[in-house]
Structure 1
Amino acid sequence: MSTFQLAPELARDCIELADWPLCKLLLLNDSQYPWFILVPRIAGLREIIDLSEQQQQVFWQESAKLSHLIKAVFNPHKLNVAALGNMVPQLHVHHIARFEHDAAWPKPVWGALPAVPYSNQQIAQIKQALEC
């Protein structure tokens, strides 16, 4: 059995915030959007259905927890949750707070604009707000 490793693209583009019981919580390093990613820490996963039934329950609980935190902290117009994996096949689920005034609205955020990295202070504020 292989050991879990975060996909290199996610390691390169994200900031690790926390390890929850099942998932690693990441923040995409683009301050234009509050964009979080949950990655189950199980090697070889590509799809949510690859998780056991018990793991799926934990995953959905963690996704709901993150969604509630995003709504409470950022008060978005819309919360986008998606598992695409076309470019990064490792199972990871995006949770993106969208606002009518954000840089890509109403279009998708993927590739809309070059990333604007977070400052250390912004990262600390997000960690504190999410209690990470």
Structure 2
Amino acid sequence: MSRFELDARLERDSELITVLGLCQLRLLKDSRWPWLMLVPQRPSMTEIFELTPLDQALLTFETNMVGAALKQVTGCTKVNIGALGNIVRQLHIHVIARFEGDPAWPGPIWGFGQSVPYQDQKSRQDLIDKLVEAISS
């Protein structure tokens, strides 16, 4: 049986916030949107339907929990959730806070402009701390 390894691109483009029951919860290194990613810690997974039924249920639970926490913490207009995987095949779920009037609203964020790294590390850490607190409660 192979061991779970995070795809190098996912690791490069995000940072670990915490590990949930099934997934790593990661923050994308793009300050334009509060953008999270869930990565199920199962080797060689590319599709949700490849997970066991129990892992599928856990993924749904964790996705809903993270989406609710993100909406609570940011007060966003909409939470976008998607599993695309056209470039990075490893199964991962994007959870993104969207706001009316954000740079790409109402269109998708994929392929829109260039990533903007977090400059203010305090605001980045505050977001992480609030998310962890909201998830824990």
Structure 1 residue 58 corresponds to structure 2 residue 58: yes
Structure 1 residue 128 corresponds to structure 2 residue 129: yes
Match of 1:87 in 2: 87
Structure 1 residue 29 corresponds to structure 2 residue 29: yes
Deviations 1:64-101 (A, max 9, x none): 10011011011111111100000000000101111112
Q: Distance in 2 between matches of 1:74 and 1:97?
A: 7
How many residues are aligned here? 132
1:123 Cα shift?
Answer: 2.4
What is the aligned-residue RMSD (CA, Å)? 1.1
Match of 2:11 in 1: 11
| Percent identity between the two aligned chains | 40
1:2 Cα shift?
Answer: 1.1
Q: Distance in 1 between matches of 2:48 and 2:101?
A: 32
Q: Distance in 2 between matches of 1:127 and 1:32?
A: 15
Q: Distance in 2 between matches of 1:123 and 1:76?
A: 16
Instruction: Look up the SS of the partner of 2:16 in the other structure.
Output: strand
Instruction: List alignment gaps of at least 5 residues for structure 2.
Output: none
The range that moved more, 34-43 or 98-107, is 98-107
1:120 Cα shift?
Answer: 2.2
Instruction: List alignment gaps of at least 5 residues for structure 1.
Output: none
| Matched residue type, 2:40 | P
Alignment TM-score, normalising by the size of structure 2: 0.92
Alignment TM-score, normalising by the size of structure 1: 0.95
Match of 2:109 in 1: 109
Instruction: Look up the SS of the partner of 2:80 in the other structure.
Output: strand
Instruction: Look up the SS of the partner of 1:131 in the other structure.
Output: helix
The range that moved more, 105-114 or 34-43, is 105-114
